[in-house]
Amino acid sequence: QVQLVESGGGAVQAGGSLTLSCAASGRTFSGYSAAWFRQAPGKEREFVSGISRSGGTTSYTDSVKGRFTISRDNAKNTVYLQMNSLKPEDTAVYYCAASSAIFAPPRGPYENWGQGTQVTVSS
């Protein structure tokens, strides 16, 4: 088990940028793949981006490709999500998740979840 704490959310105007961080504690974080999910009001939670244990493989949902970048620093036990060119439709609570799988599976399972951080993008 790892404990995950997200930070970096906030309110920005369309076209702006934010960087989310997910700090892990507990077991060795390099033993987990990680992902970012988001949930907008009235919608189901969706996979945004994932990164393998080593950081060598990443994946993105189509709507964020070219705008978001996921990365990790295993020495700091932290995963990041750099979000550029933000759009109002990116507004959601963003969750960090960790899986024992080598590659972050878009459909899970994820055994560990953070509490979420709110991102609000105004037009």
At 1 the pLDDT is: 86
Contact 37, 45 (CB under 8 A): yes
At 108 the pLDDT is: 86
- Per-residue confidence in pLDDT tens, the chain, 123 aa: 899 999 999 999 999 999 999 999 987 899 999 999 999 999 999 999 999 999 999 999 999 999 999 999 999 999 999 999 999 999 999 999 999 988 988 988 999 999 999 999 999
Write the CB contacts of 35 (distance below 8 Å, at least 6 apart in sequence): 47, 48, 49, 50, 51, 96, 97, 98, 99, 104, 106, 110
At 27 the pLDDT is: 77
Query: Number of C-alpha atoms within 13 angstroms, CB side, residue 122?
Result: 4
